[in-house]
Chain A
Amino acid sequence: MVTVLEIYQLLPKTNCKICGESTCMAFSVSLLGRKRKISECTPILEVNFKKQKEKLEALLLPSAGAEETGMIVHPELCTGCGNCVVACPVDVANDPKGAAIGCAPTNDKVIFRVVDGKVVASNIKECRRFGKNRVLCYACIDPCPTGAIEFV
């Protein structure tokens, strides 16, 4: 998991405010939360920061394909076992006669479903990690034996 400090170390650390944040540290927090893009710090685009910028991009790459909640599913790791489908509290609440009791999902309101042997996520906005009353839910990560689900 990438930390704010790791990001901060790679920024120009001049607190020039060009990015619109009051400090580089504040910008690091926004970068980690995917609220901002690296290119919004124009100073780091200059040649003398080339190496740092590349490092920063590599650091943030895994989260580039993530959903708004930060969820990434690695299809190559997924065995399609369905543990996440049945364990996700949103799926349980939205499909009590299907996913909740281990059966195939019976409606479109679930987050996880298995297609062609691999999990696909939809309705991500329903995820408990998202929205006003968010909680740090691990119910899909913990039951996954292969580490195919990740939040960044």
Chain B
Amino acid sequence: MSTCPGCALLCDDIEVVVESGRIKETRNACRRGAARIKGCINRLAPTIDQKPSDIESAIKKAAGILKDSKSPMLFGFSNSTCEAQVKGIQLAKKLGAMIDDTSSFCQGLLIEKILQKKFRTCTLEDVRNKADVLVYWGSDAQDSQPRHLSRFSYFPRGESRQRGYEEDRIAIAIDVRESNTAKICKGHFYRIQPKGDREFILALIDALSGKVPAYEPKKILELAAILKKAEFGVIFVGIGLTYSIKEDFDILVSLADKLPNFQIMPMVGHYNMRGFNENLFKETGFVNRVRFHDTAVHDDKYSIIEALREKSIDALLVAGSDPLSSLTRSLIRHLASIPVICIDPCVTMTSKIAAVTIPCAVSGVESGGTAVRMDGKKIGLSKIIESDYLTDEELLVRLMGAL
């Protein structure tokens, strides 16, 4: 059995048929996972200034860039093992650099609150065994974590849910559009306006407090009645919800307080984003947006978005991430004007503009390690096939050595 690094569900029941050192077939992994395990279409090659090079020279060049930089940033690591993440954090410390990851414009806020124990939370095994009311909020699990409903949340039978999903579980979707997940939640789909989450939460808090909600009272009261009856409920908080209430995140804490039988679980995309958040939290008390001086300082201006907007960084090391593909054009302009070092198994948009590219092994396929599942459980990654590529962890160690 192997673990799939396709998303933060980290399915560890994958069978892989290997024939003469190559992956021939995957079993049990969803389409996204199967594609991930089969590897990238375009493998990254070592380059310096877009010209072919070798790993040693590329590392040396990268070290030079970081040494010359007054204000470097390290970004990414959500597709890296915990072991590599720890090395990345050490490197940032050594350089006095900023360090940030995709959670900074994704689920970081929520994970931080969970690590600070502001929410009750549980494991996915608890969900399978006990959960009777499931709320997918601002999350299209069916699309982003394709096996979420089948492995854990809705379809499987569990210890106290023996009669199957039709009788033992209620699935509810709250979203701005009828996603594939919402389609499965037939009859329990609540459509909200974009950015309408806050209004919906406040109305729900009213309903749960015995007041008549100001907004869509009939629907909200009906939903509140279902939630109140739950023996073991879970709200799966997707990026849609986190993003829409980021200015006033504590209303979700208030809602959770009104629902004592409910657990809160973050829906995480990249396979080890939560791992990065946890590792940085352990080191600094923050999940992202950190700059190391004498101590670790946390500030919004240390997020990749703010740092690019304020042009406050003069070099960027990207590991296992493709910021170029998700940033707006105005931010990319600064990104394109500073030296970028890209460590990745595959060619990405970011690697195409990078001053130095250093290929690494595909973690979870060509190298093993550990990762943190969306619910916080540590899962082992296995090495499925041999390869000559160094892991990102080894590359970061060498880079530190070369400084």
Residue numbers of A with Cβ under 8 A of B are 78-83, 85-87, 92, 100-105, 113-118, 143, 145-146
Contacts and interface: CB of A to CB of B under 8 A. Distances in A.
Interface of B: 1, 13-15, 25-35, 128, 142-143, 146-147, 149-152, 155-158, 164-165, 180-181, 183-184
12 contacts: A79-B30, A81-B30, A82-B28, A87-B164, A100-B156, A100-B157, A101-B157, A102-B157, A104-B14, A104-B28, A117-B34, A145-B180
B353 to A, nearest CB: 31
A103 B1 CA distance: 12
Contacts of B28: 82, 104-105, 113-114
Contacts of B26: 115-117
A81 B325 CA distance: 26
A103 B183 CA distance: 23
A145 B184 contact: yes
Contacts, number: 94
Contact of A102 (B29, B31, B152): B152
A81 B146 contact: yes
A80 B155 CA distance: 14
A143 B1 CA distance: 26
A145 to B, nearest CB: 4
B27 A143 contact: no
Given A104-B28, A115-B27, A145 B147 contact: no
A31 to B, nearest CB: 33
Nearest to B182: A145
B32 A117 contact: yes
A83 B149 contact: yes
Contacts of B32: 79-80, 117
A116 B156 contact: no
Most buried by A among B31, B158, B184: B31
A115 B147 CA distance: 14
Most buried by B among A92, A101, A117: A117
B34 A143 contact: no
B241 to A, nearest CB: 20
Contacts of A83: 149-150, 155, 184
Contact of B27 (A78, A87, A103, A114): A114
A82 B28 CA distance: 8
Given A86-B155, A102-B155, A114 B29 contact: yes
Nearest to A106: B13
Contacts of A101: 128, 156-158
B258 to A, nearest CB: 30
A148 B375 CA distance: 30
A82 B157 CA distance: 14
Given A81-B147, A92-B157, A145-B180, A104 B13 contact: yes
A23 to B, nearest CB: 40
Nearest to A84: B150
Nearest to B13: A104
A87 B165 contact: yes
A82 B27 contact: no
Contact of A80 (B30, B128, B158, B183): B30
B140 to A, nearest CB: 10
